[in-house]
């Protein structure tokens, strides 16, 4: 990133306003979670676990198949 043009660096970095909005959102969610019952928190934890598992299964790193062995190595490339 040190070698990137100034405009590219500016576009890649979140603005101060975006960072502030995210921090406020995190604060609101944290405060709301504190008002939940233990049963509600456990339900949210289970749902989050399901989402993580599904995301891992569907959005994992793509697998690259190994090339098939050349059955005729004497053949020129």
pLDDT in tens, 18-55: 999 999 999 999 999 999 999 999 999 999 999 988 88
Mean of per-residue pLDDT scores for the chain = 83
Q: Please determine, for residue 62, whether its predicted confidence score (pLDDT) is greater than 70.
A: no
17 or 9, higher pLDDT: 17
Residue boundaries of the structural domains of the chain: 14-55
State the pLDDT at residue 36. 95
Global confidence as pTM: 0.49
Per-residue buried b or exposed e for 1-12, using 16+ beta carbons within 10 Å of the residue's own CB:
eeeeeeeeeeee
d(CA 59, CA 48): 16
d(CA 73, CA 77): 9
């Amino acid at each position: 990133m040190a070698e990137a043009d100034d405009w590219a660096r500016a576009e890649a970095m979140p603005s101060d306003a975006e960072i502030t909005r995210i921090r406020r959102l995190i604060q609101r969610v944290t405060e709301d979670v504190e008002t939940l019952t233990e049963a509600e928190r456990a339900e949210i934890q289970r749902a989050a676990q399901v989402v993580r598992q599904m995301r891992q299964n569907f959005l994992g790193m793509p697998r690259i198949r190994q090339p098939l062995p050349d059955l005729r190595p004497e053949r020129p490339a």
